Amino acid sequence: MLQEILNDVGIAVFAASGALLGVRKDFDLWGILTVGALTGVGGGILRDVLLGITPPTSVQHWLPITITLAASLIVFTFHPTFAQLRRSVLILDAVGMGLFATSGAGIAIDHDTSAFAASIVGLLTAVGGGILRDVLANEIPLLLQPADLYAVPALLGATIVGICGTYTTVPVWFWLIIGTVVATALRLVSLVFGWRLPTAPPGRRGHHARA
Amino acid sequence: MLQEILNDVGIAVFAASGALLGVRKDFDLWGILTVGALTGVGGGILRDVLLGITPPTSVQHWLPITITLAASLIVFTFHPTFAQLRRSVLILDAVGMGLFATSGAGIAIDHDTSAFAASIVGLLTAVGGGILRDVLANEIPLLLQPADLYAVPALLGATIVGICGTYTTVPVWFWLIIGTVVATALRLVSLVFGWRLPTAPPGRRGHHARA
Amino acid sequence: MLQEILNDVGIAVFAASGALLGVRKDFDLWGILTVGALTGVGGGILRDVLLGITPPTSVQHWLPITITLAASLIVFTFHPTFAQLRRSVLILDAVGMGLFATSGAGIAIDHDTSAFAASIVGLLTAVGGGILRDVLANEIPLLLQPADLYAVPALLGATIVGICGTYTTVPVWFWLIIGTVVATALRLVSLVFGWRLPTAPPGRRGHHARA
């Protein structure tokens, strides 16, 4: 029950981040609702397509998309307020990321994937919505740009669930909690301290080969 | 039979819109054929992936892609003429959108989805090709930009099929006709009167939270 | 055995092309690894989603993604060297393209698709990773731009496997070899001679219809 509520909070926060980008790009109401909805449920749909769950949960049931529309409408109406809420939004987003990563890995395990696959699916569940948001808004995904750690905590949380949930006899729900806490905490700590990954060493830029 | 012909017309019109964008972006022949084909069949492939129909109908059978290639070749050869045909193209496109929305919803119902899922799948069938076209051409999808109503009529048509086709005893084909007519008519009326959805109220732009 | 090794070489070369683009776009280490990994395995994942193979092979097994990460790390560290290796990279890439096109078509046949579907799936396997790479890097896919032949050889190789593997009694592995050699050779010859496809005839640009 708690996990479902937190998952819905994650969907709402992701949707709000998509709707905010839509507002900044001067989309109309429909565009804002669309990019909000796709950001909120995109990661879960990608997860389900990779696992062969059809139709995807977020398409089959009305609640997830309804949550994204409500969150997007709130952003549409009150978006100037969100500038002051930046800190709260970042915290909620970190929680949402952690929940998506671990629940994605847990659902993969339920579908008898390998531990490796569970980790990858969990990662893609956490970052898929944000990638879709940025591709639709015609921007290079934030995920690929030099920035605070985001995908690394997601991968860590998903891997904890994937490996420990597969190879230990401890119930999966225990690893869901551990993974979520670790991922969320690492994300928040990296924000506070401004941790970053290195960029490529300078030098003559390699020629871009066609592929 | 009539529905199949109209569906093929819809594929051709969507393909032509993709090929036209390719011409304007100075793609070569292959690029124009590719973006035309993906625009024509992209919505149907998305529909089938979401419903677990593999391989997707447009991949399995040769006719849909062949139609898109023929339409794209015609655009490639005669594209200056299409400027004069703008009105006809818009009308055909409205019909194609209506048909894709309702047939997508109908196919979803055949696969035992919820009424909600049928509506969403129908919407995505109608707009998927256009989104793919714009993402490939590195433009913000027209769907997200302030513009005449497009997705709203598609959603309305798909919802009529999804809800009435699931919860009434009237045969689905009846709702396919009603939904297509309503979606197409609403699209055309909105074009004539220039109806639009509101954009976000002005104000200090909300800060874009990472997600 | 040889085919698996060559396939892994193809994955590595594709991943390197993605990582090189990441370096040029100033992505951080994570971004470079991500775009490298998605370029290397994107075509195979698309193939598996279209064929209903879930989870996709590259998600389920650890080797493909590990190869992409190793290749991307090498590019990250030694990228200035790659400018001098341009010729070798182009040759390896042509081999990878040929292998992906034919193996994609062969796997489709194994899943009882039509000969037409096998050709399309082979083509998409060969070009899917590159399209994903360019979309994520916010560039128009190279595939759509006037350039040396790339997708045409891929389609030819995939079609040889798709048609001959379906309608003849000669074992499929024979057509895999023929198709790969033909696709790779045509690609290399077109590079040497600078063969290109025509662009649209000039004239007043057609108006871009909404779809």
Tell me the chain C residues in contact with residue A199 when contact means C-beta distances shorter than 8 Å: 26-29
Percent share of chain C, pLDDT over 90: 51
The answer on pLDDT for A199 being more than 70 is: no
The answer on pLDDT for C202 being more than 70 is: no
pLDDT at A209 (0 to 100):
41
Per the structure, the count of domains in chain A is 1
User: Is the CB of B79 less than 8 angstroms away from the CB of C205?
Assistant: yes
Residues 103-122 of B with CB under 8 A from A: 108, 111, 113-114, 116-117, 120-121
C113: phi > 0 → left, psi -120 to 50 → alpha, else beta; which?
Answer: beta
Give domain status of residue A208, yes or no: no
Going by pLDDT thresholds of 50, 70 and 90, the confidence category of residue B207 is very low
Backbone angles phi, psi at A28, to 5 degrees: -85, 180
Give domain status of residue B209, yes or no: no
The answer on pLDDT for A82 being more than 80 is: no
Euclidean distance between CA atoms B24 and B38, whole angstroms: 17
Mean pLDDT across B57-65 = 94
pLDDT at C2 (0 to 100):
66
Cis before A56? omega within 30: no
Going by pLDDT thresholds of 50, 70 and 90, the confidence category of residue A1 is low
pLDDT at A83 (0 to 100):
67
Give domain status of residue A200, yes or no: no
- Chains touching chain A through at least 3 C-beta pairs below 8 angstroms are B, C
pLDDT at B208 (0 to 100):
43
Measure B79 CA to nearest chain C CA, in Å. Answer: 5
Nearest-Cα residue of chain A relative to residue C74: A200
Give domain status of residue B207, yes or no: no
Q: Give SS3 for C28.
A: strand
pLDDT at A39 (0 to 100):
93
User: Is the CB of A206 less than 8 angstroms away from the CB of C81?
Assistant: yes
| Closest listed residue to residue B16, CA positions, set B36, B43, B31 | B36
> Which structural domain range is residue C181 located in?
2-193
Going by pLDDT thresholds of 50, 70 and 90, the confidence category of residue A94 is confident
> A39, A133 in Cβ contact below 8 A?
yes
Q: Which of C149, C206, C209 minimises the CB distance to B80?
A: C206
Q: Which of B50, B116, B199 minimises the CB distance to A56?
A: B50
Alpha helices in C25-150 (DSSP H): 29-51, 57-60, 62-84, 86-110, 115-136
User: Is the CB of A209 less than 8 angstroms away from the CB of C55?
Assistant: no
- Chains touching chain C through at least 3 C-beta pairs below 8 angstroms are A, B
Measure A153 CA to nearest chain C CA, in Å. Answer: 12
The answer on pLDDT for B41 being more than 90 is: yes
Average pLDDT of chain C is 86
Cis before B55? omega within 30: yes
The answer on pLDDT for B69 being more than 90 is: yes
Going by pLDDT thresholds of 50, 70 and 90, the confidence category of residue C38 is very high
Give domain status of residue A21, yes or no: yes
Average pLDDT of chain A is 86
User: Is the CB of A204 less than 8 angstroms away from the CB of C80?
Assistant: yes
Nearest-Cα residue of chain B relative to residue C130: B136
Give domain status of residue B99, yes or no: yes
* Residue matched to tokens 């970052």: A127
Stronger pLDDT, A39 or C210, i.e. the higher one: A39
Give domain status of residue C73, yes or no: yes
Backbone angles phi, psi at B196, to 5 degrees: -140, 160
Euclidean distance between CA atoms C92 and C8, whole angstroms: 11
Q: Which of A147, A199, A210 minimises the CB distance to C93?
A: A210
Mean pLDDT across B39-51 = 95
Residues 51-70 of B with CB under 8 A from C: 52, 54-56, 59-62, 65
Nearest-Cα residue of chain B relative to residue C147: B28
Euclidean distance between CA atoms C136 and A111, whole angstroms: 29
A53: phi > 0 → left, psi -120 to 50 → alpha, else beta; which?
Answer: beta
Assess B141–C contact: CB distance below 8 Å, yes or no: no
pLDDT at B5 (0 to 100):
80
User: Is the CB of B49 less than 8 angstroms away from the CB of A49?
Assistant: yes
Assess C21–B contact: CB distance below 8 Å, yes or no: no
Tens of pLDDT, residues B174-198: 999 999 999 999 999 998 888 777 7
Stronger pLDDT, A102 or A197, i.e. the higher one: A102
Residues 151-190 of C with CB under 8 A from B: 151-152
Q: Which of A14, A138, A150 minimises the CB distance to B140?
A: A138
Euclidean distance between CA atoms C111 and C90, whole angstroms: 32
The answer on pLDDT for B21 being more than 60 is: yes
Tens of pLDDT, residues C119-141: 999 999 999 998 998 998 888 88
The DSSP 8-state label assigned to residue B144 in this structure reads G
Give domain status of residue A10, yes or no: yes
User: Is the CB of A135 less than 8 angstroms away from the CB of C137?
Assistant: no
ipTM above 0.95, yes or no: no
User: Is the CB of C49 less than 8 angstroms away from the CB of B49?
Assistant: yes
Tens of pLDDT, residues A41-78: 999 999 999 999 989 999 999 999 999 999 999 988 88
Tens of pLDDT, residues C90-105: 887 888 899 999 999 9
User: Is the CB of C24 less than 8 angstroms away from the CB of A120?
Assistant: no
